Structures are given as C-alpha cells and as structure tokens.
Amino acid sequence: MIKVGIVGGTGYTGVELLRLLAVHPDVELTAITSRKEDGLPVADMFPSLRGRVNLAFSAPDKADLTQCDVVFFATPHGVAMAQAPALLAAGVKVIDLAADFRLKDRASFEKWYKIEHTAPELIEEAVYGLPELNREEIRGARLIANPGCYPTTMQLGFVPLLKAGLVDAGNLIADAKSGVSGAGRKAEIGTLFSESSDNFKAYGVAGHRHTPETSAQLQRFTDDKVGLIFTPHLVPMIRGMHATLYARLTKDVTDAELQALFEDAYKDSPFVDVMPFGSHPETRSTRGSNMLRLAVHRPDGGNTVVLLVVQDNLVKGASGQAVQCMNLMFGFEETTGLQQIALLP
C-alpha cells in the first residue's frame, strides 16, 4: 500500500484521479490540496465520491506531502516546477499532469507557455510518461511528465509508421477533436453551454503548444526531420477525443502488412486496441475507460495511410495515463485500478 497525495484536487483531472485512485487496491489517499476549498469534505464537492473518499481538501501549507510516496500535480502549468524539487529531495516521486517537464528544450517551453521555467535542473531527468513507448524508463523514474491528451493520440498513431521507415516524416497531418472538458473546470465564455453546444470550431491553427511536444517525441523514432501540421477542434461533447492522422507512404506495403505492423507494435499494450483494418472507432467506445482505440485505413489503396484514434481525454489522455505510470513506478500490474469498461450508451 502506497500513500498518495494530489495537488489540485478540484479540477477535472483532479477528480478523475480521485475516481480512479479511490478504488485502487494498492493506494491510500493521504492528502488532497486546494487553497480555496480548505476544510471542505471532498464528497461535498463531488457527491459521486460519497462513501469512497473521506478526506477533506486542505490548503497546500497544511498538507504534509513529504509523507506521501507519490504526489500527483493536477494543477496549472508552473505549479509542479515550484514544488517538485523539495518533494523529490524528500524521496517523494512526482507525476505532473501539466506541461512543466514535457519539453526538454527550456526555451521552447518558455516560448509556448509564457512563463519562466524555475526548475531547469529537473527537465532532463523527467521521463515522458507514455507507457506504450517508454515503459522501462517509467519503471525507474522518480519524476514523470504526463503527456498531453492530443499528443497521446498522435504519437501512438504515427510512431509505428516512423519506426518502420514507411512514411514521409516531414509531411504528417493531424486533424483532432476534443470534448469541452479538455479546456478544464473553469468559467470561460468559449466553453459555456450556450457557446459550445450545437457548435463546432477549430482553434490554434496558427500554432498550438502540443505541436512542439509531439514533434519532439516523434523525432526520437526517425532520423528524418519531422514536419507536423496539427489542427485541434472543439466539439460539443463533455468527454472524448478523435484524431484523424494522415501520412504519405514512401515504400510499397500491403494493407495486411500495415495492419500487422500496428498489431505487433501494441501486442503487449493492454490499453491500446488495434481494431480490424478499415474500422471506424467511436469516442463513446472509450468513455470513462483508459482504453485507446485505433484503426488503419488506406483510401483507394493509394499512398496515404489514414489512422483513426479515439480515447477519453480525461482518462487515457490525462489521469488514467498518470495512474498507469504510477503502477509501473511502484511495481504494480500496469492495469491495476484501470480496468473500467467504457460506458454505453
């Protein structure tokens, strides 16, 4: 049994961590911080956790996080880098769901996130927490940079093709859609019901901060320079993410070989479901679960591969992936506490 703390337990990724960890057999929830909600029982804010989480929120200065074995940061960018050094020095492992340690290039981080990085000495040590690609590194890590939700879909789609040298790395295209919960649990005009319901729009077309994160990670798997065009969209649903990925083939390969490539790549990955060739995965098939589903297409038998990738942006795209990393870091079965079946209808 390990002791777990959560910094920032009132947002969507925070409550998702609570939902998953409350039923994890090897976890004791020890501290949940919120400066604004200090003293409020967690179940009063989130009635879904009544009878499961008996803790109250505590102000950060009242929570002794050094007594924890691992601390999750479900906080805005910049919080983890301020607190992680002291926790690591005390022997506590850290999993950051924000972007503080995702980019190895400090200048790139400061450009895209508009804040100074205050713990540059930890950037190189941090392990990028995508288990399907970095499983062994995660096992030995003490600091995890949890991937962004969009980057998870793009990497798990493109990497097998890049590793096999089958596509033009300089011309990758990702057209991705996310539910409104991806914007976080805060009041903003653009995510109000009357603004986002019955509506569909793109954003960040000129440049999005998940592009450098994804490009840097994809570059690890090819000697050719990666060129990625990524366009995110907001769709009127609460949870869910759908990425349609395009890559141009540079070698002769059959449909069966393409399918086998993905099946082999993820045969030991319990949370990646490679569907039959030509399938159309739906976001609702992953709702509330840690499963990512993908399908391979090749329109008209031509030289373009189209990948359809779906996941729950709050689970595999955030908190579930973080728990998956925790399981690896502490020697638990990777699937422990994460075997929920998607909710249908």
CATH number at residue 91: 3.40.50.720
Pair 113, 216 in one domain: no
Pair 104, 159 in one domain: no
Residue 154: predicted pLDDT = 98
Pair 85, 181 in one domain: no
pLDDT interval class at 79 (50, 70, 90): very high
Pair 249, 288 in one domain: yes
Sheet with strand 172-178: strands edge to edge:
201-202, 228-234, 172-178, 241-248, 304-311, 292-297, 272-274
Q: Are 25 and 337 in contact (CB under 8 A)?
A: yes
Pair 101, 7 in one domain: yes
Q: Is residue 187 part of a domain?
A: yes
pLDDT at 23 over 80: yes
Residue 233: predicted pLDDT = 97
- Of 310, 306, 305, 274, whose CA–CA distance to 290 is shortest? 310
Residue 228 sits in a domain of what CATH number? 3.30.360.10
Q: Is residue 130 part of a domain?
A: no
Residue 127: predicted pLDDT = 98
Count of domains observed in the chain: 2
Residue 108: predicted pLDDT = 95
**Given 149, 292, 318, 338, which residue is catalytic?**
149
Q: Mean pLDDT, the chain, as a whole number?
A: 96
Pair 113, 157 in one domain: no
In this predicted structure, which of 57-61, 261-265, 287-291 has the lowest mean pLDDT? Answer: 57-61
Pair 207, 270 in one domain: yes
Pair 157, 116 in one domain: no
The DSSP symbol for 313 reads T
pLDDT at 332 over 90: yes
Q: Is residue 247 part of a domain?
A: yes
Looking at residues 30-56, what average pLDDT do you find?
95
Residue 87: predicted pLDDT = 98
Q: Is residue 22 part of a domain?
A: yes
Q: What is d(CA 104, CA 112) in angstroms, rounded to the nearest whole number?
A: 13
Residue 194: predicted pLDDT = 85
In this structure, the dihedral spanned by the alpha carbons of residues 267, 146, 328 and 25, taken in order and rounded to 10 degrees, is: -110
Q: What phi and psi values does residue 334 have, to the nearest 5 degrees? A: -60, -30
Residue 187: predicted pLDDT = 74
Q: Which two tokens stand for residue 290?
A: 């840690």
Residue 186: predicted pLDDT = 77
Q: Is residue 72 part of a domain?
A: yes
Q: Is residue 343 part of a domain?
A: no
Pair 180, 270 in one domain: yes
Pair 245, 288 in one domain: yes
Q: What is d(CA 321, CA 298) in angstroms, rounded to the nearest whole number?
A: 29
Last residue in a domain, options 125, 157, 187: 125
Output the CA–CA distances (angstroms, integers) from residue 205 to 98, 175, 245, in the order listed. Answer: 21, 10, 16
Pair 188, 116 in one domain: no
- Three-state DSSP at 248 gives strand
Please state whether the predicted TM-score (pTM) of the whole model is above 0.85.
yes
Residue 56: predicted pLDDT = 96
The type of residue at 60 is: P
pLDDT at 38 over 80: yes
Q: 306-315 pLDDT, tens per residue?
A: 999 999 999 9
- Which residues form the domain of 24? 2-125
Percent of the chain predicted with pLDDT > 90? 93
Q: 293-302 pLDDT, tens per residue?
A: 999 999 999 9
Q: 114: alpha, beta or left, given left = phi > 0 and alpha = psi -120 to 50? A: left
Pair 281, 154 in one domain: yes
Residue 193: predicted pLDDT = 84
- Of 39, 46, 55, whose CA–CA distance to 12 is shortest? 46
Sheet with strand 93-96: strands edge to edge:
27-33, 2-7, 70-73, 93-96, 143-145, 127-128
Residue 333: predicted pLDDT = 98
- Of 110, 99, 221, whose CA–CA distance to 151 is shortest? 99
Q: Is residue 185 part of a domain?
A: yes
Residue 207: predicted pLDDT = 92
Q: 93-152 pLDDT, tens per residue?
A: 999 999 999 999 999 999 999 999 999 999 999 999 999 999 999 999 999 999 999 999
pLDDT at 237 over 90: yes
Residue 195: predicted pLDDT = 86
Last residue in a domain, options 71, 93, 125: 125
Neighbouring residues of 265: CB distance < 8 A, sequence distance ≥ 6: 159, 160, 163
Is 149 marked active-site?
yes
pLDDT interval class at 182 (50, 70, 90): confident
Q: Is residue 165 part of a domain?
A: yes
